[in-house]
Structure 1
């Protein structure tokens, strides 16, 4: 599995309520993305940085999302260029399902 962390510096700080409204408007786009296990939206305490933490079945799945079109949507929605970091996630503890999941 792969975890990606996307971040972007916002041109103006957002409140949690403003961010929540924006995040809810984009969340439906992620419900059927192939290979995406989970996405968590994030906002820094000062409201100046936003992004997401994604858990993927594979790097190939992750890379399939981060297209030029995706980057353009982020720029349009948030007014900032996204930065993407990739991490191997060989073990995941899922307390919602009470599972420990290991890569094959």
Structure 2
């Protein structure tokens, strides 16, 4: 498995309540996304940051997402991420199961 951690910095004056609503609306697009095991939407209004932590079954599925229309739409809306880090996930604990 592989994790991808994205961080975007948004401009001053961002409507954070609108961003929370956008995250809620967009979350539906990630349901049953091929290869995606989990996604957490992240927001820190004090630092003007938003992003996501993703866990993918394979590196290939992660890379396919980075080429997808879904990801490219995010980049069009928010700009390139300030940070994108990819990690191997040698073990994954899911307490929800």
Q: Do they fold alike, i.e. is TM over 0.5? A: yes
Report runs of 4+ in structure 1 exceeding 3 Å deviation: 68-72
SS at match of 1:54: strand
Residue ranges of structure 2 left out of the alignment (5+ in a row): none
TM-score (norm 1): 0.78
Output the aligned Cα RMSD.
1.9
Residue ranges of structure 1 left out of the alignment (5+ in a row): 98-104
Q: Which has the higher contact order (CA 8 A, sep 6+)?
A: 2
Q: Is contact 2:9–2:50 with CA below 8 Å preserved after alignment?
A: yes
Corresponding pairs, count: 95
Greater share of strand: 1
Greater share of helix: 2
TM-score (norm 2): 0.83
* Bigger Rg, structure 1 or 2: 1
